[in-house]
Amino acid sequence: MHYPNAHAVNADLHCHSTVSDGTLSPTEIATRAFENGVELWSLTDHDEIGGQEEAASAAKALGLAYVTGVEISVSWASETLHIVGLNFDPDDAALEAGLQQTRSGRARRAEQMGEQLRKVGIEGAFEGALSYAGNPNLVSRTHFARFLVERGICSDVRDVFSNYLIAGKPGFVEMQWATLAEAIGWIRAAGGVAVLAHPGRYRLSALEADVMVEEFMRLGGRAVEVITGSHNASQYRKYTALAQEFGLMGSRGSDFHSLGESHTDLGALPPLPDALTPVWHDWL
Ligand code: AMP
Ligand code: MN
Ligand code: MN
Ligand code: MN
């Protein structure tokens, strides 16, 4: 059914729980989202849908509308892209197999990150990161960052990333994630919609970004995150124009991870601009 005023709905379609690199359980996020006035919610853990059942049932108990979600890591050219999948069948076997394959390199990567950090004098980072991971199959750079902050090596998570965890820094390990075709293919085959997450975060030239968006669309991608905790006001405008130019729907999500670290709380975002069709326009 087409909802008459979808723009007015407080939709938060991007956030993380302890199933990936968030610090709250799916139930705790559902509660916080509800208390913050979110009216349509999706939990989008990295490369994992293990939290979907809990999220859906917590939302149901609160009377909060829910759609399934995931954020898939993709290697494209020399950049890592994030593709959010929304409103898919969580029991789809091919999607689960694809996600399992995508996250399978994380354990080895985490060990290598630990080894490389040891070489610059930081002991026990692998074990430390693991102790922060709610899901041992989903050790993320964020878990390393929390450990390095706890150790007093950096003052905050952002600092750890710029000094240790990005390309060219000692804790960085190159990864081969899913291809763009795989990620979009799995989402679509499971009946979901593929959304290009936080485009403002990718280090691509204008030409590369155009090629990437064209490929995203050719493969069946339908929407772009315009209103996200990762964008500033000028990026809201830039990606509204991009969505209009390419005929993509718009999405909205905080990308909330944790109370101390995330500057955008659940549901605390401006509305999607009127010029765009909300990706959720026919989900309510
Ligand atoms: P991974 O998937 O293990 O490579 O970790 C990626 C995650 O690290 C992202 O989803 C963010 O949560 C976090 N992240 C990436 N870059 C930064 C940054 N500059 N500051 C803080 N967190 C970041
Ligand atoms: Mn994350
Ligand atoms: Mn992301
Ligand atoms: Mn995210």
Sheet of 40-41: strands edge to edge? 11-12, 40-41, 65-66
* pLDDT given at position 3: 56
Cβ atoms within 10 Å of 47's Cβ, excluding its own: 24
Mean pLDDT of 105-121: 98
DSSP state of 9: S
Q: Kindly report the protein residue whose alpha carbon is nearest to atom 13 of ligand 1.
A: 142
| Alpha carbons 267 and 40: distance in angstroms, whole number | 9
Q: How far is the CA of 44 from the centre of ligand 4 (A)?
A: 7
d(CA 153, CA 145) in angstroms, rounded, equals 10
Report the chain's mean pLDDT, rounded to a whole number.
97
Read off the pLDDT of residues 12-64 as tens digits, 9 standing for 90 and up: 999 999 999 999 999 999 999 999 999 999 999 999 999 999 999 999 999 99
The DSSP result for 53-118, as a single string, is HHHHHHHHHHT-EE--EEEEEEEETTEEEEEEEES--TT-HHHHHHHHHHHTTHHHHHHHHHHHHH
pLDDT at residue 120 tops 60: yes
In order of their start, the domains of the chain are: 9-98+177-253 (3.20.20.140), 103-163 (1.10.150.650)
On the question of pLDDT at 1 being above 80, the answer is no
| Dist CA 23 CA 41 (whole Å) | 17
Q: What 3-state class would DSSP assign to 256? A: strand
**Residue 260 predicted with pLDDT over 70:** yes
Which residues lie with the beta carbon below 6 Å from any ligand 1 atom? 21, 46, 73, 140-142, 157-158, 161, 257
Give how far Cα 127 sits from Cα of 97, 137, 140, 142, 162, Å. Answer: 27, 14, 13, 14, 21
3-state secondary structure of 159: helix
pLDDT at 143 over 60: yes
Half-sphere exposure of residue 46: CA atoms within 13 angstroms, side-chain side: 28
Q: Higher pLDDT residue, 260 or 72?
A: 72
CA of residue 154 to ligand 4 center, whole Å: 22
Q: Are 83 and 194 in contact (CB under 8 A)?
A: yes
